[in-house]
Structure 1
Amino acid sequence: MNKIILLLMILNIGSQTVCQVKKDYPIQPVPFTQVHITDGFWFDRMETNRTVTIPYAIKMNETTGRVTNLEIAAGLKTGEYCTRYPFDDTDIYKVIEGASYSLMLKPDKELEKKLDELIDIIAKAQEPDGYIYSARTGKSDKLKGWIGPERWSNLQSSHELYNAGHMFEAAVAHFMATNKKSFLTIALKCADLLVKDFGPGKVQLPPGHQEVELGLVKLYRLTGEEKYLNLAKYFLDIRGRGKELTGRESWGEYSQDHKPIIEQDEAVGHAVRAGYMYSAIADVAALTGDESYIKALDKIWNNVVSKKLYLTGGLGATGSWEGFGPNYDLPNASAYNETCASIANVYWNHRMFLLKGEGKYIDILERTLYNALLSGISISGDKFFYPNPLESFGTHERSAWFECACCPGNVTRFIASVANYIYAVNSKEIYVNLFTNNKADLKVGNDEVVLSQTTNYPWDGKVVLNVNLKNQSKGFSINLRIPGWAQDEVVASDLYQFIDKPKSKTTIRINGKQIDYNVENGFAKISRTWNDKDVIELILPMEVKRIVANNNVEADRGRIALQRGPLVYCTEGIDNNGYARNILLTGDSKLNTDFQKNLLSGVEIITGKAYGVKSSDKNILTKEEQNFVAIPYYAWAHRGKTEMSVWIANDEKVVRPLYGSDLLSNAQITASAGKNPEVIADRLEPKNSIDHSLPFFHWWPNKGTAESVQIDFQNLEEISQVDVYWFDDTGIGECRIPSSWKVFYKEGDKWREVYTVDKYGVEKDKYNSVTFETVRTKSLKIEIHSQPDFAGGIHEIKIK
């Protein structure tokens, strides 16, 4: 069986499919195995993924016990489930998928052998009827609350079907890469079990976390077995209909179970679940012709792009449910923007393009790809972000791994297959969607075309395409995407607007001669009878553009952001006198660019002059001119903890000035548990106790415990008052004001309680002050007792 034809099918592609798919996307992407990225920006990242990230993720799956979980289920080892979550099997499946894609591009016998070893363990962990879920088969005690008493009994949280979906995708990828059926046999056996167990008159529950639908579609494309497509559609169709079908109570917006999918018109709930579901809806719509699905997707997409999309392309305003907030609720410091949600956003927008052929979808794809998604993986390939906020007060750094490690594995499979998004074709047209150095083998109707790109994108806007024909052309169109940012449009809505007028427009030349062109649906369509060795030059204007947000976005009022080409920029304190919060960038500031080859593996920086704003003890603001530097957002947090901001104040009313020194300025603050306790002395005033737009400290997940923060001064200090502003996220989290608290001071090597007749206040939305007899000490301690079943937290403290 021809592997290229198979890959065309699996990646939503191909005019020819061995399973004779009856309907499909009208536009078909060119699979990454036919697009050879040669050097430059994406080549470097794919090589890092192949040589660093994939081996690293495999090692971490072994050392953290994820492989052991499967070995216990397989009877190869004994013991309790090693990790925290029942979906940890998918971390192995995802890296197998990523490694398989890598093998398609560059054979590696050692890597292939490692996959064989993992697959052998997976095969032994599978139960005789096809069921595979290590937490249940391994008889985990600690996960009983997640997995339920029997199969499929707690799908709202068990992730049984989510696990299966990732396994299906990985098994298809492995078969495509190696022609081995070892993993595919496991997947098909499991899929057949799902077909047997789910459906009308059987188990009528949707997946809690969507993903299995995407895996089932890939199995359908590979095998031609409509039962897999039908089950994918069934899972989508019963979502939001629990009461109607079985009397089941709704799982709510979090799981997109609040309405039938064809009635949904707003993006709500968990962003990754939503993105995977929207991608699956598009797949099933393309394969069945269901117009009601497409109409629902149109409404949801418009809602996201006009009200819920971050400038970086990220999705998810809150970490409380890892998902969407209300319309226009786009905070910066507390933005969640999970890396997996960015990957899902790329999947979804790619599919929308395949359905509609409009460049606005690739605009969102590219914005997400270069910014929110790429931020999730370090340049070195072995450090990761889970959330990707647009502002940091110096408290963020990438992690080597996570207890919930869904993002690293997801990155491995995405980066390995990034070339899948560069081109697309139909019977008469080639779509050039993304720009990077590559050589692609394409077929348009009967024309066989080798299309090569040469470019220094995203640093330079010049893209040269060489057209090589294997036979005489009968005429076809090459459609060059003209990005929205090159047409004075940030996104296809009024959520964001450029405020700088364009200084130049996009130029297109053929064989050195400039041509006139029209942009239709985001593409310049060039129709002609092509000759061998024709050369197309696309010159995109790479200007620094200032951006403002819709006034309904409270967090961005009085602020601007910077973009150059597809890249959103940010300021880091390390480049701007130590701070990002106090920068004032006025509208008349002249901005320049400079490529720094030795900085962050080579980046174009934006430079100019700005003001650093300070406040005196009498609250008088002063502005001092200083040098200004901005770097690409994806490259932040590579040089130690430092402040960062995408949205920069251009109005004095919103700038956060630096204050003079006080008792806490040089104190060392530590805590009994939790991260970054120093933020309680940053002198940033919260609006209320639930304010997530500013840093806060908490002891979560320690609940119902005695905890403390300790303040150590450099010298003996006389203290007589402590003010505490409690953090409390009632309604969205598990932090509450404490049940009680006390202040202690250190005398010698002993802690003593301060003497006071004041009541220790535990009120929200205000400072709770306690005045006491003056103590002379080098150390102070605030000790709290949190409420039962809740953690405590502090926004800010003051000491007098």
Structure 2
Amino acid sequence: MVKRQETEARLKDCCVKDGFWSYFQELVSDVVIPYQEKILRDEIPGIEKSHAIENFRIAAGKAEGEFYGAVFQDSDLAKWLEAAAYSLQNKRDEELERRVDDVIDLIGGAQQEDGYVNTYFTIKEPEHRWQNLLDCHELYCAGHMIEAAVAYYESTGKDKFLNIMRRMADHIDRRFGPDKTRGIPGHEEIELALLRLYRATGEQRYLELSRYFIDERGTQPNYFQVEMKERSWTFWSTEAGDGTYNQSHVPVREQDKAVGHSVRAMYLYTAMADMAGETGDESLYRACLRLWENVTGRQMYVTGGIGSTVHGEAFTKDYDLPNDTVYAETCASIGLVFFTRKMLELKPSGKFADVMERCLFNGVLSGMQHDGKRFFYVNPLEVIPGLSGEQKEYKHVIPKRPQWYACACCPPNEARLLESIGKYAWGEGSDTIYSHMFLGGSYRSEMCGGILIETESGYPWNGSVKYTVHPQENGASCTLAVHIPGWCEKYRLLVNGTEALSAEGTTAEAETAAKAADVFREDGYCYIRREWKDGDTVQVDLQMEARRVYADSAVRENQGRVCLMRGPVVYCLEQEDNGGQLWQLRIPENAQISAAEEQDPVLGRYVSLNIEGARCLSGGSLYTGERPVPYAWKIKAVPYYLWGNRSEGGMQVWTLEG
């Protein structure tokens, strides 16, 4: 039986004061949340209309009008509410809390007598409730509302929203399950939300309902085909397919390869991993491990992006990772963070923490403009002026972040993740406090009578991180486990200023030798076991150098190409710094790569990489027998997450080497 070895931190125990992440949290609380609220209230002219709050006013009888937006428009508001809840946990704001309470009142007013909450079917098609689980996303919207309600309850202690969504969960429970109506969601989300509701309330029925939706999936692969035949109307699908699109092709425990819509897959896998930890289901854990290995070992971009095709926003085949027609939806990278965090709970392992870090510093952050007012749905690794965003096969690869979308799932998803970053950084086992990522600030644990850990971090721009431990009583005995990123080959760990562990690489011999001491490394973590005294320090010094990264030879698009990284940060070349036609550039095999700290009025503080490279040019003939001539060219690379913030132009992550 699998056992959950660690649980994520409570957000109220985390305080973020970090040289890197505090900027984004303050940006979300001060700019993004108010900006998105105005959009949800239709107060910003000239951009995609949302109408999400107005839909609830109409459903609650506070206004007249027609439903507007996607069938899942409620979910945009739900994710914004969850982000606002986390923001209130991090920084009290009475005016924001009042506005959130007003929205909650609207949701309560729109709730039907039987507990049902969904503005599309309340306003537009009440006679078709629960008849189209494939397309109409009632369970998906309910899941996001439940997550928001739990977050708001945990943040403020107010239970009105929680009770509204408990009534909706009870309504769903009365309808679906063994010996009731058979059903599974077309877009997974309700499964993981019900587990959060179960932990918030202790109500076993919610755990069992989540288990039903997970276990039922794939047991009738033609379920949605049957559903379509039984109703006399359609929404937008013309056929249900074979179930791979929404991961209902085989039972979940038999799945071993990520297929279909990448966001749906991540939400399902997150729930599966969470359920495995909650119930000790070994077969479910093994399926999660197979799926995680397939996603991250064969279908993930170097940025942490997943879902390589625009057709269905989906996975394709192993190692099919095109750079210029990539999809890599922001929500998919966020979903991979969710899934990986749950895998960390099952087994604290460096491979999980490494992927979580990769996603957060790259594929997640790239989804938002540095000023918080524009957002990417698609996150390309190559932009070609004249093709990207213009030609049919490149139409989705837009070179500039829009202000909003008709389908706006990504912007509020980004906001809720960044505001809750603390619970991804810290966790606890039975006698161990885990630092999964370097996050300046503090973490308070109830372990051993109470311990406060303060962290000072220069990460990711430098590799110096210091932990100062303050136990409630001197002599408290527990373990601090610090993740050492897999990219780092050389590091030192000091306890109270004395070197306790160092390594040049991660050889098995080094790990074996260290286990005999109270400080040892195992599976990507340095464990420090001791009786802590007030003011004890643990310092980690990581050697941070620019490095070259190469793709597996099975990835045809990147053969002969190199990617630059420094620490956890992926770099790219932009036309702004290097001129046009970036594909002409070459990075010589023996070229030195230097790092320079910069302060830019648009990009903020960051570290650039600079290379003495070459630009290869040929004659004027379309085809010629003469080799292109290399000319010396200074190449500058900037962090990938910052691309597209200045002038519009070309961009590439992978550059020809030689």
Aligned to 2:281: 290
Q: Give the whole-Å Cα distance in 2 for the aligned partners of 1:265 and 1:473.
A: 47
Deviations 1:348-395 (A, max 9, x none): 111101101111101000000000001001111111000111111144
Aligned to 2:4: 25
Q: Give the whole-Å Cα distance in 2 for the aligned partners of 1:363 and 1:391.
A: 24
SS, match of residue 386 in structure 1: coil
Tell me, yes or no, if structure 1 residue 308 matches structure 2 residue 299: yes
- Indicate how the Cα distance of structure 1 residues 615 and 246 shifts in structure 2: closer, same or farther if over 3 A, else same: closer
Q: Give the whole-Å Cα distance in 2 for the aligned partners of 1:412 and 1:306.
A: 28
Aligned to 1:591: 593
Tell me, yes or no, if structure 1 residue 163 matches structure 2 residue 124: no
Tell me, yes or no, if structure 1 residue 69 matches structure 2 residue 55: yes
Deviations 1:118-153 (A, max 9, x none): 11111121111011111111025xxxxxx9x62211
Tell me, yes or no, if structure 1 residue 421 matches structure 2 residue 428: no
Match of 1:216 among 194, 197, 205: 194
Match of 2:364 among 347, 365, 373: 373
Q: Give the whole-Å Cα distance in 2 for the aligned partners of 1:574 and 1:312.
A: 21
- The residue correspondences of 1:657-676 to structure 2 (distance < 5 A) are none
Match of 1:572 among 556, 571, 574: 574
Measured after TM superposition, the shift of residue 570 of structure 1 is 0.5
Measured after TM superposition, the shift of residue 110 of structure 1 is 0.9
Tell me, yes or no, if structure 1 residue 174 matches structure 2 residue 152: yes
Identity rate, percent = 38
SS, match of residue 515 in structure 1: strand
Deviations 1:371-420 (A, max 9, x none): 00010011111110001111111440111101100011111111111111
AA in 2 matched with 1:483: P
AA in 2 matched with 1:592: S
AA in 2 matched with 1:60: I
Structure 2, unpaired ranges of 5+? 43-48, 227-239, 389-398, 502-513, 515-519
- The residue correspondences of 1:260-659 to structure 2 (distance < 5 A) are 260-394=251-385, 395=388, 396-444=399-447, 446-487=448-489, 505-516=490-501, 517=514, 518-598=520-600, 600-618=603-621, 619=624, 620=626, 621-651=628-658
- Indicate how the Cα distance of structure 1 residues 199 and 553 shifts in structure 2: closer, same or farther if over 3 A, else same: same
Match of 2:15 among 36, 49, 61: 36
Structure 1, unpaired ranges of 5+? 1-21, 141-146, 488-504, 652-800
Large movers: runs of 4+ above 3 Å: 243-251
Q: Give the whole-Å Cα distance in 2 for the aligned partners of 1:414 and 1:246.
A: 32
1:346 and 1:368 in contact (8 A); partners too: yes
Tell me, yes or no, if structure 1 residue 102 matches structure 2 residue 80: no
- The residue correspondences of 1:142-153 to structure 2 (distance < 5 A) are 150-153=128-131
Deviations 1:729-756 (A, max 9, x none): xxxxxxxxxxxxxxxxxxxxxxxxxxxx
Q: Give the whole-Å Cα distance in 2 for the aligned partners of 1:247 and 1:88.
A: 25
AA in 2 matched with 1:601: G
- The alignment of Structure 1 onto Structure 2 pairs a total of residues equal to 604
2:4 and 2:280 in contact (8 A); partners too: no
AA in 1 matched with 2:82: E
SS, match of residue 323 in structure 2: coil
Q: Give the whole-Å Cα distance in 1 for the aligned partners of 2:169 and 2:361.
A: 35
AA in 2 matched with 1:408: P
2:587 and 2:611 in contact (8 A); partners too: no
Tell me, yes or no, if structure 1 residue 192 matches structure 2 residue 177: no
Which has a greater percent of helix? 2
Q: Give the whole-Å Cα distance in 2 for the aligned partners of 1:427 and 1:596.
A: 43
Measured after TM superposition, the shift of residue 247 of structure 1 is 8.6
Aligned residues: CA RMSD: 1.8
Q: Give the whole-Å Cα distance in 1 for the aligned partners of 2:207 and 2:458.
A: 42
Q: Give the whole-Å Cα distance in 1 for the aligned partners of 2:224 and 2:345.
A: 36
1:579 and 1:642 in contact (8 A); partners too: no
Aligned to 1:689: none
Measured after TM superposition, the shift of residue 447 of structure 1 is 4.3
Higher relative contact order (CA 8 A, sep 6+): 2
Q: Give the whole-Å Cα distance in 2 for the aligned partners of 1:530 and 1:71.
A: 55
Deviations 1:145-192 (A, max 9, x none): xx9x62211101110000000010111111222222221121011000
AA in 2 matched with 1:448: G
Q: Give the whole-Å Cα distance in 2 for the aligned partners of 1:245 and 1:111.
A: 43
SS, match of residue 506 in structure 1: strand
Q: Give the whole-Å Cα distance in 1 for the aligned partners of 2:454 and 2:169.
A: 40
Q: Give the whole-Å Cα distance in 2 for the aligned partners of 1:49 and 1:583.
A: 37
The higher radius of gyration belongs to 1
AA in 2 matched with 1:632: P
1:451 and 1:465 in contact (8 A); partners too: yes
Q: Give the whole-Å Cα distance in 2 for the aligned partners of 1:328 and 1:30.
A: 35
Q: Give the whole-Å Cα distance in 2 for the aligned partners of 1:72 and 1:194.
A: 23
Tell me, yes or no, if structure 1 residue 201 matches structure 2 residue 179: yes
SS, match of residue 487 in structure 2: helix
Deviations 1:182-225 (A, max 9, x none): 21121011000001000123221110000011111111111111
Measured after TM superposition, the shift of residue 304 of structure 1 is 1.3
2:5 and 2:345 in contact (8 A); partners too: yes
SS, match of residue 327 in structure 2: coil
AA in 2 matched with 1:436: L
Measured after TM superposition, the shift of residue 72 of structure 1 is 2.1
Q: TM-score, normalised by structure 2?
A: 0.89
